[in-house]
């Protein structure tokens, strides 16, 4: 019989390790992140060398539609670009949108849920009613309409204030805000549930008795205590947003060429499907990487959920 761990952290860690796929997933994701961050830096350092040329995602060549080989691990695309390099840089965009989008949804969801749960009564009913209404609306349609309409507006504003360097990232900015602002509903509901049960606990009463205001109580006592649940749901929100982004990029509404994300790469590959010659690697390579990443995030989320013993409603 192994010595039973006694602190809550140790117990969570042992439950986390019991989920067989969670730890490998976490390691794989960390590696992916490392490669994605290091690749552009290394490429910049090695500028001009043979290797840098091979892994330059924007370098065109005559070698179109080469199947995967030792020289081109994932083959090449319609313009003879190395697909491995494109998938690697696409990973950067996809992960960035996923992480920042999840961050946006985290902030909105936690604040909304905490305020509703702590205030209670009328305000709570009103705020949660609003969440219910949004829940029943086709949010992705809203994002599509927002992106297609407001982007031009933002671009003309940016030109007026002489910030053209922001212009290229206008679409990215929209993806961050748009996807984050439709993905916070579950987070708000779960945080509210947690806050409802926390606010009647003795330590909150004690703090209130000592004269603490609602902002102090929320930020020092209640929100830190919801952290475990919040981390679990952020881990599950990231793959959802990556999926949303790929979906939009697939429709041509996400990142614009020459920038690429996994979704736009898969779309480019699907465009090349024809009955005469099959370029399967154009779909299979970015597709496999996307599926593997989503799988890793979901396993990690499941493991964390077991670790913190969160029950979803």
Is 283 in contact with 269 (CB distance < 8 Å)?
A: yes
Of the candidate residues 23, 280, 306, 308, the single one contacting another protein (CB under 8 A): 280
Q: Which segment (49-57, 64-72, 86-94, 272-280) binds another protein by CB under 8 A?
A: 272-280
The nearer residue to another protein, 123 or 273, going by C-beta atoms, is 273
Near another protein in 128-167, by CB under 8 A = 133, 135-138, 140-141, 144-146, 148-150, 152-153, 156
- Asked if 212 is part of the footprint of another protein (rule: CB under 8 A), the reply reads no
User: Please, which contacts does 252-257 make with residues 24 or more away whose CB atoms are closer than 8 Å?
Assistant: 253/144, 253/147, 253/148, 254/171, 254/175, 255/93, 255/171, 255/172, 255/175, 256/171
Of the candidate residues 92, 109, 239, 303, the single one contacting another protein (CB under 8 A): 239
- Asked if 4 is part of the footprint of another protein (rule: CB under 8 A), the reply reads no
Q: How many CB atoms sit inside 10 A of residue 197's CB?
A: 11
Q: Which segment (43-51, 73-81, 187-195, 241-249) binds another protein by CB under 8 A?
A: 241-249
Find the shortest distance in angstroms from Cβ 204 to another protein: 28
- Asked if 170 is part of the footprint of another protein (rule: CB under 8 A), the reply reads no
- Asked if 126 is part of the footprint of another protein (rule: CB under 8 A), the reply reads no
C-alpha closest to that of 281 among 51, 95, 92, 84 = 84
Of the candidate residues 5, 37, 270, 309, the single one contacting another protein (CB under 8 A): 270
Q: Is the peptide bond before 258 cis (omega within 30 degrees of 0)?
A: yes
Q: How close are the terminal C-alpha atoms of the chain, in Å?
A: 34
Strand partners, 82: 76
Residue with tokens 């892994």, as numbered in its chain: 55
**Rounded Cα distance, 61 and 81, in Å:** 6
- Asked if 308 is part of the footprint of another protein (rule: CB under 8 A), the reply reads no
Find the shortest distance in angstroms from Cβ 101 to another protein: 16
Find the shortest distance in angstroms from Cβ 269 to another protein: 7
- Asked if 251 is part of the footprint of another protein (rule: CB under 8 A), the reply reads yes
Q: 21 phi and psi, to 5 degrees?
A: -95, -10
Q: How many CB atoms sit inside 10 A of residue 29's CB?
A: 19
* Site of interaction with another protein (CB under 8 A): 133, 135-138, 140-141, 144-146, 148-150, 152-153, 156, 239, 243, 246-247, 250-253, 263, 266-267, 269-270, 273, 275, 278, 280, 283-284, 287, 290-291, 294-295, 298-299
């Amino acid at each position: 019989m192994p010595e039973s761990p006694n602190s809550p952290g140790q117990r969570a860690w042992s439950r986390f390790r019991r989920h067989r796929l969670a730890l490998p997933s976490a390691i794989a994701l960390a590696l992916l992140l490392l490669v994605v961050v290091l690749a552009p830096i290394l490429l910049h350092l090695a500028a001009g060398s043979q290797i840098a040329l091979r892994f330059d995602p924007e370098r065109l060549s005559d070698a179109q539609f080469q199947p995967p080989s030792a020289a081109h691990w994932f083959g090449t695309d319609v313009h003879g670009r190395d697909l491995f390099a494109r998938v690697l840089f696409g990973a950067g965009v996809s992960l960035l949108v996923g992480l920042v989008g999840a961050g946006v949804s985290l902030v909105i969801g936690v604040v909304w849920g905490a305020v509703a749960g702590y205030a209670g009564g009328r305000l709570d009913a009103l705020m949660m009613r609003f969440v219910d209404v949004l829940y029943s609306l086709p949010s992705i349609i809203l994002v599509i309409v927002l992106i297609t309409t407001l982007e031009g507006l933002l671009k003309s504003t940016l030109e007026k204030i002489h910030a053209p360097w922001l212009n290229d990232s206008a679409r990215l900015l929209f993806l961050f805000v748009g996807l984050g602002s439709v993905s916070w509903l579950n987070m708000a509901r779960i945080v509210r549930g947690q806050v409802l049960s926390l606010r009647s606990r003795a330590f909150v009463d004690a703090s209130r008795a000592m004269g603490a205001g609602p902002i102090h109580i929320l930020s020092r006592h209640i929100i830190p205590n919801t952290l475990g649940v919040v981390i679990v749901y952020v881990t599950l929100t990231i793959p959802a947003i990556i999926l949303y982004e790929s979906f939009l990029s697939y429709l041509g509404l996400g990142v614009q060429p020459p920038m690429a994300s996994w979704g736009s790469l898969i779309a480019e590959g699907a465009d090349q499907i024809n009955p005469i010659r099959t370029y399967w690697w154009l779909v299979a390579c970015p597709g496999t990487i996307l599926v593997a990443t989503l799988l890793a995030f979901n396993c990690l989320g499941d493991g964390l959920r077991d670790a913190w013993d969160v029950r979803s409603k």
